Copies of this chain bind each other. A is one copy, B any other.
Amino acid sequence: MEQFLNINTIKFDKNGLVPAITQDAETGDILMFAWMNRESLEKTLETRVMTYWSRSRGKLWVKGESSGNTQEVRKVFIDCDEDVILFKVDQKGMQASCHKGYRSCFYREIDPDDGTYSVIAEKVFDPDDVYKK
């Protein structure tokens, strides 16, 4: 797409992907981390709806397509090395980003003393209800 020629400096890795960090525009919480190829980046900028590249499914992934928990782009940032993109978004739907039912994928804290995990957030939805078999 011609209007996005300026993002040609972005360094996609040898798989054609860049890391995307998604941050809640209101709270500053990190909601999730995923990957984008050039097509998903262009689609995200064009539609203002977060569209990742699913490495496991090998296809474009409009976040919230099945759950309704879409993410609306508010601001976009590029890092110094031009190989990571940061998105500030409005989390729509049930206000949850994580397929496990939490607002953020980072719902567990690691204790640096012993490396144990503990859940530090409340579930927003029950994944069994949302992702029907």
Contact = CB atoms under 8 A, between A and B. Distances in A.
Interface of A: 3-7, 19, 21, 23, 27-30, 32-33, 45-46, 48, 73, 75-81, 84-86, 98-100, 102, 105-110, 112-117, 120
Query: How many copies of this chain?
Result: 2
A84 B110 CA distance: 12
Judged by DSSP, the binding face of A is: mixed
B33 A112 contact: no
A106 B48 CA distance: 19
A4 B110 CA distance: 10
30 contacts: A3-B113, A3-B114, A3-B115, A4-B114, A4-B115, A6-B116, A21-B21, A27-B28, A28-B28, A30-B30, A30-B86, A33-B84, A45-B110, A48-B112, A75-B109, A76-B109, A76-B112, A77-B106, A77-B107, A77-B110, A77-B120, A78-B108, A78-B110, A79-B105, A79-B106, A80-B98, A80-B105, A81-B105, A84-B105, A84-B106
